[in-house]
Structure 1
Amino acid sequence: MEGMMGERRVTTGWTRVRWTAAMREAFLDTLARECNVTLAAEAAGVRKESAYLLRRKEPAFRDAWQEALALGYQALETRMLARAINPASEPDLDEMLGFRLLTRHGNALNGKVPRTGVLPRAATREETDAAILKKIEMLERARAKGLA
């Protein structure tokens, strides 16, 4: 049963978390190394929801979070470059995933992707059909005018 935002009654096994300096350090260090909130929360001994709540409530933690992610992406970029130069140097690196993550991060920094991490939704069949029909209609008009 839920209580105030960020806490649950002990009957569910959840309690309100009081973040210590050591917990924050473990979270931010892991986030910088892994770029993974779930792993960072585990390292701090908390649920990821607790980390997101703290990020919403404390601007200093939100800034430290962003700095940790920036460091993590720099480390990933360094690993990707090392792999490009010498493939044997990073044998466990998933190049395609690394490239997608770096591209998404760069787009987010340039305002091209929502910072929330929400992925674009897939269009419905009706939406794609309507878009295709609209394009066909445009081509037919251009052809009738002798432009296509």
Structure 2
Amino acid sequence: MTRKTSPARIAAFFRALEETGNQTIAAEAARVSRSWMSLHRATDPDFRARMEAAITAARERLRAQANGVEPVATWRAINGEELAVRGTNGRRTQIARARLNQWTPRTEARFLAALAACCNVAAACRAVGMSQAAAYNHYNRWPDFEQRWDAALAEGYQALELALIENAGRAFAPVAYDQDIPIEPMSVDQAITLLAQHQARVHKIGKRPGRPFRMPRTSEEVFASIAHKLDRLEKKLRAEAAPDPAAGRRALDRGMRAVRGTGKPAR
């Protein structure tokens, strides 16, 4: 170690590294240069091993924490820049500077407030500038966010029900609701559709909506769809163990020949 770097500063570096898992932020917090860190990591095996142990400890703790991407109070910002927990699914998990279009504690809070106001995932995403794909990926990645999402959705469901009741006397007017984040107004039909979509999650009634049906566009898609349905029918016949399996198989073969004879042969 160089004489310019005091033991206290070195200890501060490793303490910050074990808390954040981020070498750059740990160096900034301890007021040591990255070149100093890189030099000792490359030339001192004990220093490198200690760094790896600190990073591993930070990764395991951050993955297990209950508050998702929100760091502890001491690591919510550095030099005026917002910090967030980044990385899961096998990648290095660490506290890092928030990037553009990244989920941060503030983005989560704004999104959940919008969702609680309107019960509309798409509108809440537009209110915070995030895509629906990013929102659902974040939902599946962080259990804490999943729980808060479900709670906000239930709150938004109730708010939407109340808004529809208040709106009953003027059926053709847009549904009005209170919100701090600007969200586009919705029609009564849209509000009712949202209630139908989310009743399975909120009230455990019915089934969650699946993918919307799309008519096949080409003959290849038509025959692929028919072949898929015939395959499912074949599996069903086998599973039911019909009294005469051979007869069922012959009927299936006849159906397949009839379908394939009506158009372009399957490739």
Tell me which interval the TM-score lies in, with the shorter structure as reference length: 0.5 to 0.7
Correspondent of 1:95 among 177, 183, 188: 188
Residue 112 of structure 1: which of 193, 206, 218 is its match? 206
**Is the contact made by 2:110 and 2:128 (CA closer than 8 Å) also made in structure 1?**
yes
Q: Residues 1-148 of structure 1 correspond to what in structure 2 (within 5 A)?
A: 18-84=102-168, 86-87=169-170, 91-93=173-175, 94-108=187-201, 109-114=203-208, 117-119=209-211, 121=213
Q: Structure 2: any 5+ residue segments left out of the alignment? A: 1-87, 90-98, 176-186, 217-225, 230-267
* Higher RCO (CA 8 Å, separation ≥ 6 residues): 1
Identity of paired residues, percent? Answer: 29
2:101–2:129 contact (8 Å) kept in structure 1: no
Task: Kindly state the Cα deviation for residue 53 of structure 1 after the two structures are TM-superposed.
Answer: 1.2
Query: Separation in 2 of the partners of 1:121 and 1:48?
Result: 19
* Structure 2 letter corresponding to 1:91: A
**Cα distance in structure 1, aligned partners of 2:215 and 2:136:** 29
Measured after TM superposition, the shift of residue 17 of structure 1 is 5.2
Contact 2:111 2:124 in 1 (8 A): yes
RMSD: 3.3
Higher strand share: 2
The structure 1 segments of at least 4 consecutive aligned residues displaced by more than 6 Å after TM superposition are none
Is the 8 Å Cα contact of residues 17 and 50 (structure 1) preserved in structure 2?
Answer: no
Distance 1:57 1:122 in 2: 29
The higher radius of gyration belongs to 2
Higher helix share: 1
> 2: distance between equivalents of 1:43 and 1:123?
32
Q: Distance in 2 between matches of 1:16 and 1:83?
A: 39
C-alpha distance in 1, partners of 2:212/2:141?
27
Once residues 107 and 53 of structure 1 are traced to their aligned partners in structure 2, the CA distance between those partners, rounded to angstroms, is 20
Unaligned runs of 5+ in 1: 6-14, 128-148
One-letter amino acid matched to 2:210: V
Normalised TM-score (structure 2): 0.34
Cα distance change of structure 1 residues 107 and 18 upon mapping to structure 2, 3 Å threshold: closer
Amino acid at match of 2:107: M
* 1:38 CA drift (Å): 2.9
Q: State the match for 2:52 in structure 1.
A: none
User: Partner amino acid for 1:110?
Assistant: K
